[in-house]
Structure formats: C-alpha cells, structure tokens
C-alpha cells in the first residue's frame, strides 16, 4: 500500500491524537497570522496617513525645494511637464500644490500652521480630502474660504464662518497677510494633520503669498505601492533639471526608518512566537512518537524497513501540518476580516499618548494576502522541519527497547 | 529425568543436534553483555544450542535469567556482544540492518507477552500487515488472513480493533499475525503471561495444533507450568547460561 495512503489512514485511526496535534498547528497559524496582520495593518495605516492624506506616492518639485523648503523655491508648471506626467501609465491622478507656513491667529491666540493651496477638484481626486469634512463645506474653484483641521480650530477657538488671520512671508520677501472665513472643518484620521493644517483654494493661496502661477509641488498618485517603482523609473527618465522627482519614502525617511525599526523588533517578536509555536508542535509530536514507540517497534520487528516507517510518519506529520495550517488559515480569515473592518480602539490613556505622538489611536489589521500565505508557509515549513524528528527516531530506535516501551 | 546438578552433560545436547540434518537454528557461543554505568551485566553467557524443524520448545528460568534477551538475540531484535545465530545456513548477525529486517519478515514470526498488535489497525489488517510488506497479492492476503483467523477461532472478529478484543483474543490474533508471513519459526516471549487460564489453554491448543499439523517450529519463553507441560523440549536458563536442556 502506498505510504501516503497508509499515513492518511493512520491519522484518522486515532482522531483524538490527530486533532490535538492539528490544534497545536492551528493555534500557531492563528496567532502568527493575527499578529502579523495587526503589525502590517499599523504600518499601512502610518503610510496611508502620510501618502493618501497628504504627500501622495510621488511629488515633483523644483530641484532645490526639498533642501530648502521656502516659497522662493517654487516652479511654474509647464505644459510639457504636465504632459510627461500624464503619459506615465501608472499615474492615476495628480494635483498642484502651493505649500508654505504662516502664523494663524484668532482673537487672542496665534499658532504656526502649514498652509496648503490646492486645486479643490484635483486634490479631492488625489487625497479624497472632501470626505474628511466634519463641519461646513468643501472648497470650490475660486473660493475665498478656507478649511482648517479640527484640533487647530479648537486651539484657536474658532468655528465655521469665523475669520482667521494669516501672516507670513510671501514670494521673494513680500509681506503676506490676509483674513479668511472658515468654510469647513476637517477631521482627518491623522492627529498631526488635524493639529496643523489649513487648506486654501490654489489661486487664493498664490494670491496670499504673491506667488502667482507658482507651485511648490505636483502631488502624484499611483494605483498602489506596487506600481511605485515603475512609475518612479519612468518619471525620472522623463523629468530632469530644474525639477526633481521624489517618492514618499524619500520624502518621509523618518517614517520608513520607524517602520523598519519596528519591523526589526517585530522580527524578534515573531522569531520568539515561531519558537513558542515550533516547540509547541514539537512537544505534541514528541508525545505522539513516545505514545507510538511500541507500535513503531512492532512494525520494524515484524519486517517494516525503518526508512519506510520514517516515510509514513513523515507524511503523517506533514498531513498534520497541512491540516493545521489550513484550518488556521480558515480560522484567521473571519477574525482578521472583522478587525479589518472594525479596528480596535485603544483605551483612553493609551489613545491620548498615541494622539500626542501624532498616531491614530486605532489598531488596524491588514488584509494583504501576504499576511496569510507568509504565515501559512512559515508554519508549514516549521512543521516539515519538525517532521524530521520522528524520522530520526524511527531510524535510531532500538527495537527491543521499543517493544517494552 | 535428568537431575539439575548434571546440567553440564546436557549442554552437550548441542553436539547431538549439530549432527542432525533437520536443525534449522544453530546458536554458537551467544553472549550479550550490557554495559551498566558501574558494572557490566552478562545477560546471555556463551549459549550454544540448536533447534530442529517442528520443535515445540520452552525456554524457562527465573526472572532476570536472560530468557527475553536470548529470544531477542535469536530473533534479530538485539545485537549480541559475540557469538552467532545461524538460521538455515545464514548467520543473521552478519546481515546488514535492512537485510536483517527483511530476514525477520520472511523467516521469523513474533508473539509478544503484551500482544503488541498495532492499535490503529483492525485484527484483519494486523494479520495482513506483514503480507503487505512482503508484497503479496491482495487475493492471497485476503485468503490467508481468513484462513489464519479461522484457525485461531476469530473469523468473526476480522474488523475489530485490538482495543475491542480480550487479552486472549488479541494474543490469538498475534499468533495469526506471526504465522502470516509463513516463517521458518515462531518466537513467543511469555505468550500466556497476561492471559487467564481458559485463554491460556485455548492459545496453547492452537499453538500445539499448528505445530503438529503444519510442523511449525515454536520457541517460547515462559514461567507458566501449563505451557512447560505441553512443551516437548524444555531449556532452562539461569544467569544467562543453559543449565538444563530436556527433550521429551
């Protein structure tokens, strides 16, 4: 009879033992998948906070801008530049921005803010900003009103239709001052944006800074991060001095470093988790082998070759591993699916700390396929490695002792 | 009836048997020494014996005398420190591990004290198992399994798992399994030790009938007087040596 068929049959001749061993693999997959999903979800949320709400995946600047972010390092978008960007197939939207700083004042309170002059229609396509309006309305082309982050409005003690006073330095040192009515209040998922951003219609902003027809950046969106390398390659081929093309991870090295540092810590934690899972599975397999020692001894005594016995037990362990990862995978889908749609809200104290750090106080879960298949493959490989143990035991077993086990 | 004090005389039975053309097992100076942490234990001490085809021999002796070790050495389950076991002209301890396993499969049947049936297999599958290993055709396996199970009186328990059988029934299945490969001889290590008197009687009848009717050689270790009574040869071992060898 085929070794594989014998192995499969053996599994179901002792259901209890098989189910206990499968359960140890199941919990291993479940824990590691949920943990990885939570980890990757938090990274995605951090990247989304930056990329989708603010920086976009790619930006085109004047080549000196990134080193010296002043209103003087602006550029005038030429038709040829716009054409080159439009022709890159990975680019789905792009929007012009004029971005600088100003002092924002209400009656008695002043705060430094980030001012973003945006094209209301294109900005909405790129960052979906319109959906974060908490109160009031979104901007219209030629609008004189402004949008402020909810925490900034609270800080300045301003509400809808109140007037905010902005004071800054405009293009080439020209004084910039103006009074603007608050048309809407924004509530982003990012506490940092809520605290310090102020949106104006682009021409209104250019007028405020006396930077007519000038931009600090063209913000470009691609479909997802997997399209980023190709889009970057093509844009860099097409666009050269006096412009520069930068990806989000070049613009946000701190975020990349933070994620990488966290991932490195995560690797240690995951290694620890895999060790616990691995030893759990090994313990169960050792128990199984100990329980079956006499059976194995009898088989070899009456004529089964050790390598054949080893093969059968190897296949049994692999089947256990396969069943464990399969049910672990199926079990983790509803859990991760639920938390993907309903992120865990941190308790009040922890939430406050997170907000102060500029991080959303929610634990997001990732739904990326790699979260599942990486864990499934890893645990299966661990189980396959553990399957060497019974093979080794069957090879080195002393038959006369096994018969008395 | 030989007297115990004259045991040396009976060691020479080997010489007598050596000249016998029917001898299927020759044991020469078989020794097994276990290396303990402080002291070495001589479990089998230079045994010379031979067995003829169709013998029904009991190995007797007190606990720790070396009966089980002797049977393990004879059956190729434990490696001797020195000496040889020659079965049909083959010194089994010169065989490589794989060949030895094949040799056991084709030449030796085992019946163990605690039955040692494979718990995940039914009675029928336990009997068939060794024939699977031998690569026998399905029809032959099926026929022989039926015949053997009938001969041990368990034709109605073919599909029962060992856990559903009594001790006596399990041991009868073990005898059927031992016979399945058509071995040259069967080694039984205290086959009745865990059985009640009725089951013992039953098992002995089966073994005796198989021995008489089919000329199958049985060599068994035992403490049981009822088994000794049925044996046609009784070999007494003490401190790893044969001290008595009586043919009846």
Per-residue pLDDT at B20 exceeds 70: no
Residue B5's pLDDT is 38
Residue B14's pLDDT is 42
Whether residue A308 lies inside any domain: the answer is yes
pLDDT in tens, A265-281: 878 888 888 888 888 88
A46 and A68 share one domain: no
Using pLDDT thresholds of 50, 70 and 90, give the confidence band for residue A357.
low
What is the average per-residue pLDDT within A131-138? 92
A236 and A277 share one domain: no
- The answer to whether residues A96 and A218 touch, using CB atoms and an 8 Å cutoff, is yes
Which percentage of chain A shows pLDDT scores above 90?
46
Domain residue ranges in chain B: 3-247
A321 and A205 share one domain: no
Residue B14 φ/ψ, nearest 5 degrees: -55, -45
Per-residue pLDDT at B223 exceeds 60: yes
Residue A133's pLDDT is 93
Residue A216: partners with Cβ closer than 8 Å, 6 or more residues away? A61, A62, A65, A69, A71, A73, A74, A97, A98, A99, A100
DSSP per position, B147-195:
HHHHHTT-GGGTT--GGGS-HHHHHHHHHHHHHHT--SEEEEESTTTTS
Query: With an 8 Å Cβ cutoff, are A303 and B121 in contact?
Result: no
Per-residue pLDDT at B11 exceeds 60: no
The residue out of A240, A266, A295 marking a domain boundary is A240
What is the average per-residue pLDDT within A192-196? 88
Query: With an 8 Å Cβ cutoff, are A400 and B72 in contact?
Result: yes
Which percentage of chain B shows pLDDT scores above 90?
57
CATH superfamily for B3-247 is: P-loop containing nucleotide triphosphate hydrolases (3.40.50.300)
Q: How many CA atoms lie within 13 A of A15 on its CB side?
A: 0
- B positions 9-48 inside 8 Å of A (CB): none
Per-residue pLDDT at B225 exceeds 60: yes
pLDDT in tens, B96-150: 999 999 999 999 999 988 889 998 889 999 999 999 999 999 999 999 999 989 8
Residue B207's pLDDT is 86
Whether residue A59 lies inside any domain: the answer is no
Using pLDDT thresholds of 50, 70 and 90, give the confidence band for residue B1.
very low
Residue B22's pLDDT is 66
What is the average per-residue pLDDT within A325-330? 92
A69 and A204 share one domain: yes
Q: How far is CA B2 from the centre of its chain?
A: 25
Residue of B nearest to A307 (CA): B98
- The answer to whether residues A179 and A228 touch, using CB atoms and an 8 Å cutoff, is no
The total of structural domains in chain A comes to 2
Of the candidates A1, A298, A398, which has its C-beta nearest B132's C-beta?
A1
- In the numeric block, which tokens belong to residue A317? 């362990």
Please give the Cα distance from A293 to A404 (Å, whole number): 9
Please give the Cα distance from A208 to B69 (Å, whole number): 102
Whether residue A250 lies inside any domain: the answer is no
Please give the Cα distance from B120 to B163 (Å, whole number): 9
Whether residue A140 lies inside any domain: the answer is yes
Of the candidates B101, B117, B120, which has its C-beta nearest A303's C-beta?
B101
B81 interfaces chain A, CB cutoff of 8 Å: no
Test mutation, B105, B110, B120, B134, chain A, max A CBs within 10 A? B120
**Is B193 buried (19+), middle (13-18) or exposed (0-12) by CB count in 10 A?**
middle
Whether residue A162 lies inside any domain: the answer is yes
**Omega cis (within 30) before B230:** no
A284 and A324 share one domain: yes
What is the average per-residue pLDDT within B142-162? 91
Q: What residues of chain A lie within 8 A of the CB of B134, using their CB?
A: 303
- In the numeric block, which tokens belong to residue B238? 């003490």
What is the average per-residue pLDDT within A99-122? 94
Per-residue pLDDT at B3 exceeds 80: no
Using pLDDT thresholds of 50, 70 and 90, give the confidence band for residue B17.
very low
In this prediction the pTM is 0.70
Please give the Cα distance from A363 to A372 (Å, whole number): 18
Using pLDDT thresholds of 50, 70 and 90, give the confidence band for residue A103.
very high
Whether residue A132 lies inside any domain: the answer is yes
A6 and A153 share one domain: no
Per-residue pLDDT at B2 exceeds 50: no
A103 and A226 share one domain: yes
Residue B227's pLDDT is 86
Q: What is the mean pLDDT of chain A?
A: 89
A162 lies in which domain range?
64-240
Per-residue pLDDT at B18 exceeds 60: no
Q: What is the ipTM of this complex?
A: 0.85
A46 and A85 share one domain: no
Whether residue A36 lies inside any domain: the answer is yes
Residue of A nearest to B100 (CA): A303
A139 and A229 share one domain: yes
pLDDT in tens, A285-312: 888 888 889 999 999 999 999 999 998 8
What is the average per-residue pLDDT within B219-243? 91
Whether residue A210 lies inside any domain: the answer is yes
Using pLDDT thresholds of 50, 70 and 90, give the confidence band for residue B46.
very high
């Amino acid at each position: 009879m085929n070794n594989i068929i014998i192995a499969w049959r053996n599994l179901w001749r002792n259901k209890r033992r098989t189910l206990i061993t499968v359960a140890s693999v199941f919990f291993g997959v479940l824990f590691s998948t949920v943990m990885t999903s939570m980890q990757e979800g938090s990274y995605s949320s951090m990247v989304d906070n930056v990329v989708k709400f603010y920086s976009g995946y790619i930006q085109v600047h004047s080549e000196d801008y990134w080193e010296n972010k002043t209103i003087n390092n602006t550029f005038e978008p030429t038709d040829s530049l716009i054409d080159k960007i439009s022709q890159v197939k990975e680019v789905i939207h792009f929007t012009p921005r004029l971005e600088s700083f100003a002092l924002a004042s209400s009656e008695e309170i002043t705060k430094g803010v980030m001012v973003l002059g945006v094209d209301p229609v294109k900005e909405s396509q790129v960052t979906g900003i319109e959906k974060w309006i908490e109160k009031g309305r979104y901007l219209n082309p030629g609008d004189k009103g402004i949008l402020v982050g909810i925490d900034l409005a609270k800080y300045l003690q301003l509400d809808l239709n109140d007037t905010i006073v902005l004071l800054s330095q405009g293009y080439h040192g020209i004084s910039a001052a103006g009074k603007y009515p608050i048309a809407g209040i924004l509530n982003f998922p990012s506490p940092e944006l809520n605290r310090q951003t102020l949106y104006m219609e682009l021409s209104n902003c250019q007028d405020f800074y006396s930077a007519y027809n000038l931009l600090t950046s063209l913000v470009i969106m691609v479909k997802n991060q997997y399209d980023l390398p190709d889009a970057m390659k093509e844009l860099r081929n097409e666009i050269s001095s006096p412009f520069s093309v930068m990806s989000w991870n070049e613009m946000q090295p701190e975020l990349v470093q933070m994620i990488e540092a966290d991932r490195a810590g995560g690797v240690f934690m995951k290694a620890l988790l895999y060790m616990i899972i691995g030893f759990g599975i090994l313990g169960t397999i050792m128990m199984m082998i100990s329980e079956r020692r006499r059976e194995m001894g009898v088989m070899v005594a009456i004529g089964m070759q050790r390598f054949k016995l080893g093969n059968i037990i190897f296949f049994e362990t692999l089947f256990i591993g396969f069943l464990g990862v399969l049910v672990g995978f199926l079990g983790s889908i509803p859990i991760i699916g639920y938390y993907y749609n309903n992120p865990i809200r941190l308790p009040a104290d922890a939430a406050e700390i997170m907000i102060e750090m500029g991080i959303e106080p929610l634990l997001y879960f990732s739904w990326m396929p790699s979260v599942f298949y990486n864990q499934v493959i890893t645990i299966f490989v661990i189980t396959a490695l553990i399957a060497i143990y019974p093979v080794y035991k069957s090879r080195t077993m002393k038959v006369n002792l096994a018969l008395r086990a | 009836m030989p007297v115990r004090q004259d045991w040396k005389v009976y060691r020479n039975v080997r010489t007598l048997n050596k000249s016998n053309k029917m001898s299927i097992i020759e044991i020469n100076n078989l020794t097994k020494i276990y290396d303990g942490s402080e002291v070495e234990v001589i479990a089998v001490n230079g045994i010379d014996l031979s067995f003829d085809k169709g013998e029904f021999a009991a190995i007797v002796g007190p606990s720790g005398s070396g009966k089980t070790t002797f049977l393990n050495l004879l059956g190729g389950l434990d490696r001797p420190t020195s000496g040889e076991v020659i079965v049909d002209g083959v010194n089994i301890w010169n065989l490589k591990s794989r060949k030895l396993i094949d040799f056991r499969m084709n030449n030796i049947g085992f019946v163990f004290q605690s039955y040692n049936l494979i718990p995940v297999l039914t009675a029928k599958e336990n009997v068939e198992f060794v024939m699977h290993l031998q690569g026998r055709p399905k029809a032959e396996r099926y026929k022989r399994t039926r015949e053997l199970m009938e001969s041990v009186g368990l034709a109605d328990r073919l599909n029962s798992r060992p856990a559903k059988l009594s001790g006596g029934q399990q041991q009868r299945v073990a005898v059927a399994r031992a016979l399945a490969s058509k071995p040259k001889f069967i080694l039984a290590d205290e086959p009745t030790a865990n059985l009640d008197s009725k089951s013992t009687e039953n098992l002995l009848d089966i073994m005796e009938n198989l021995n008489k009717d089919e000329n199958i050689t049985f060599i068994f270790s035992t403490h049981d007087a009822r088994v000794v009574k049925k044996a046609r040869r009784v070999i007494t071992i003490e401190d790893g040596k044969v001290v008595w060898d009586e043919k009846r």
